[in-house]
């Protein structure tokens, strides 16, 4: 599976297609905000309420073993944070 690249706002973003699904590098996108430590950007994003809600929706739709009641602690933790 070859990795392709595109340039967006001066940052090279890697992506690849597997079957009919496209996957894009979140780390490369985060480098737009912090080239030295993109993991900090991703860590913040993963803790926002909107991200947790999005991931909960995806898991509910596509993972029959997902238990949404277990996500409550993360959602409550993120309630005071600003959404990204």
For the stretch 10-44, pLDDT in tens is: 889 999 999 999 999 999 999 999 999 999 999 99
> Are residue 1 and residue 34 in the same domain, yes or no?
yes
7 found inside a domain: yes
> Are residue 32 and residue 62 in the same domain, yes or no?
no
pLDDT at 59: 92
Full domain range(s) for residue 11: 1-38
3 found inside a domain: yes
pLDDT at 80: 59
Of the candidates 44, 54, 52, 43, the one whose C-alpha atom is nearest the C-alpha of residue 71 is 52
Quick one: pLDDT band at residue 7, thresholds 50, 70, 90?
Answer: very high
Residue 30 tokens read as: 């985060």
More confident residue, 72 or 65: 65
Residue 56 tokens read as: 């909960």
H helix runs in the chain, sequence order = 26-30, 38-46, 49-62, 72-78
> Are residue 52 and residue 28 in the same domain, yes or no?
no
pTM for the model: 0.67
Q: In angstroms, rounded to a whole number, what is the distance separating the alpha carbons of residues 4 and 17?
A: 9
> Are residue 31 and residue 57 in the same domain, yes or no?
no
Structural domains in the chain (count): 2
Residue 84 has pLDDT above 50, yes or no: no
């Amino acid at each position: 599976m070859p990795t392709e690249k595109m340039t967006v706002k001066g940052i090279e973003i890697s992506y690849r297609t597997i079957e009919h699904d496209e996957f894009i590098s979140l780390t490369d996108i985060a480098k737009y905000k912090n080239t030295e430590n993109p993991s900090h950007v991703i860590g913040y994003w993963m803790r926002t309420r909107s991200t947790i809600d999005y991931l909960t929706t995806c898991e509910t739709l596509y993972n029959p073993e997902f238990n949404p009641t277990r996500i409550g602690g993360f959602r409550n933790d993120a309630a005071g944070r600003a959404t990204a």
